[in-house]
Amino acid sequence: MGTNLVILESPGKVKAISKYLGPDYTVIASNGHIIDLPAKELGVDIENDFKPTYKVIDNSGQAARILKKIQDMAKKSNRILIATDPDREGEAIGWHIAGRIVTKSKNIKRVIFNEITKRGIERGLQSEGEIDKNLVDSQQARRIMDRLVGYKISPFLWKTISNGLSAGRVQSVALRIICERDRDIKKFDPEEYWSIKADFTTSKEHFTAALFKINEADFKITSANDAENTISEIKRAKYSVSDISKTKLKKSPMPPFITSTLLQASVNKLGFSSKKTMQIAQQLYEGVDLGSKGVTGLITYMRTDSTRVSGDAIDEVRDYISRKFGVDYVSKSIRKFKSKKNIQDAHEAIRPTNVNLDPKKVQSFLSKEQLRLYKLIWTRFVATQMKEALFESTVIDISGGRFKFRISGRRNIFPGFQQVFSDTDIAVDNGDDEGKVAMPKNIDVGMIAGLRDVESDQHFTKPPPRFNEASLTKELEEQEIGRPSTYAAIIDRLIYQKYVEKKEKKLESTELGNLVNRILVENFDDIFNIRFTKRMEANLDKIEYGESNITEILNKFYKPFEKTLESVAKKTTDIKKATEEFLDKKCPDCGKGYLVSKWGKNGKFIACSNFPDCKYTSSIEGKDKTDREPAKTYGKCPKCLQGNLVQKKSRTGNVFIACDGYPQCKYIKNETVSVKCPEKNCDGTVKGKTTKKGRRFYGCTNFPNCSFASWNKPVEKNCSGCGYGILEEVNDKKTMKTVLVCPKCKLKHESS
């Protein structure tokens, strides 16, 4: 055993760090937190300056075994290095462990490895120091705040809605943001407007331009009648090319990734969820086996809000650009990016640890998903020190009478930083479609432009878009809610609690989520709002920077919170009644009480208002014993012979047929589909299949030779438009009915 003990947080880094440190070091991982607040009690002495009670986590004894092993190793070591992750949580994990280690010398030091490479390990060892107690106190304050909110408000939700629900200091504000956006969408009243475009011809060119000005002013056409009248007047005017302007434009690269921007880009460009992105980034940071090079960390630490990059890394990437693309592609001066205010600048931006390990060199060692994320990070970083892309922008105006039409476009003169995106098949940051406009070339000012045709298009203003994981992360960052380490966990928790559903990659609040949000906002608005949460995050930063102490901040938080709790406790019964919906129907069992819809751990159900004297209940989506329209049944259950087969929907949105006697009977009808594959030169059959996560889809039996696959149920019927061999059942969101759609040309057919 080595005389130096290194304690990590993640077991995934043990092998790589052991390789770099050599035989004089023994490396062990804690597997994350092993000491925390107790699971089944508050664990915070509010009357004694919020003193926390910490215990070894009871996860079937695993944490206790790990701690005992660390303690035994520490007794045999001359020096102990705490090398947990470089953030608040990592600092707290290290502090907890250090407090449980008893050695003769007590020689315990803190080291930080921002990258798992030889260079990163050596730098960490050279700058060893002490555990940052301010950082630990900041984490403790956050943990205590979250525990107080969870333990004081979650039981309130249990009493008023249903057991198993939870509230969170930051989580509930994120839910509020989603619910308020959904409310704005529902309230949105679209406004009609019309656009007009015209086809023109000169002696050498034919092109289309859009109506830009009327009487040299902006305009708004709000009805079909106005559009027709405007077109009539447009047709009477004579037109000529009134102006041609050309300007040079420069486009600069985006800053290197921080956690929030990486999550946004990964969602938008790769389609990864926030949780998946962080999991893959963790793997790239901890290290990948590169064959003869051994296990190597490919990126720097992925939880950061700083765009700072080390001087060595900048020199390395500028040298790489010069060798790979030529000196003309290297930015004239070192490009630096300003980080936002109130950031934790503990470590660098997210970048490759060695820019010379380009994606092509490591692709054989990475999984497909690891490679895609590494490409994204590598490409973004290389672009930061490349020259700007240069464009020539052209604007052509055609005028006649009161009207001015305009066509604009641009062409690339020098690719600059965009060249690296072309080389790695990653979509260009901030890309747009301006360059795709076909601009007339043989044209001069004063040329007569003959009007060939003019047409109008009706449009309606659109409501604000629903949040997806990328835009919600951006909103949380801009509102200064949460931290890099919490963005993915917040979204994942909301989905897990069924407060939010992900539909077509959009986050939509559920009925339960809206109810929870309404109750929390109505009763705890002073806690669950952006302003308060933002202020608390700033206070946590003050503790970290040594500007405030933990007791002062917790008192500021708890005293008004306590008064609110006392006030709300007096009206719990009334709040609960407000969550229930009376159906104006007598109970069929006791005949005395009325039926009421309530919330339970499995969702909404119908019960008797005489509970607990009458225990009548009924599933809303199953056998309905009220006068409501009963659910469509598909015969008796062949397994229990008592329940009816009804249509249900899974968490992922898949529709299936199952027994309404669940959970007593768990029968699910396996739907049989067998349709001839519509792809050319394929003699396979399309059949129902199931993904590893249990989601139903339909694919060809000749896979992988035939790649046909669809989430929608196929129907053996030819498309009347393009002749494609099948149609698919698709739910029409406007009519809420199932329609048949051709997957090839998207033509809708009536469902037979």
In whole angstroms, how far apart are CA 740 and each of 365, 711, 732, 749?
A: 44, 14, 9, 5
Q: Return the SS3 of 270.
A: helix
Q: Residues 206, 209, 213, CA angle at the centre, nearest 5°? A: 145
CB 673 within 8 A of CB 714: yes
| Three-point CA angle 495, 498, 503, nearest 5° | 60
> Tokens in use for 296?
């190597």
CA distance 309 to 384: 10
CB 208 within 8 A of CB 197: yes
Nearest to 499 by CA among 276, 165, 170, 169: 165
The residue whose two tokens read 């986590």 is 57
Q: Is 165:156 a contact under the CB 8 Å cutoff?
A: no
Token pair, residue 684, equals 């396979």
Listed in sequence order, the residues at least 6 apart from 310 whose beta carbon sits closer than 8 Å to its beta carbon are 348
Does residue 301 have an active-site annotation?
yes
Which one is catalytic: 25, 301, 487, 698? 301
Helix (H, G, I), strand (E, B) or coil at 214: strand
> What angle, 0 to 180 degrees and rounded to 10, lies between the N-to-C axes of helices 572-579 and 511-524?
150
CA-wise closest residue to 495 among 513, 471, 482, 518: 513
Pick from 210, 236, 201, 190: nearest CA to 456: 210
CA distance 168 to 175: 10
* One-letter-per-residue 3-state SS of 456-493: EEEEECCCCCCCEHHHHHHHHHHCCCCCCCCHHHHHHH
Alpha-carbon distance of 7 to 97, in angstroms, equals 9
Separation of first and last alpha carbons in the chain: 75
Length of the chain: 752
Q: Which helix (H) or strand (E) holds 260?
A: helix 259-265
Cα separation values, 275 from 264, 265, 344, 468, 469, Å = 12, 13, 22, 13, 10
Could you tell me the CA-to-CA distances from 276 to 269, 489, 690, 705 in Å, in that order? 14, 11, 21, 29
692, 695, 698, 701 alpha-carbon torsion, rounded to 10°: 20
Measured between alpha carbons, how far is 497 from 488 in angstroms, rounded to an integer? 14
Distance CA 117, CA 295 (A): 9
For residue 324, give the nearest of 353, 297, 355, 351 by alpha carbon.
355
Residue showing tokens 């693309």 = 325
The pair of three-digit structure tokens given for residue 192, joined into one six-digit string = 């009609």
Helix intervals (H) in 36-132:
62-75, 88-99, 118-126
Catalytic residues: 301
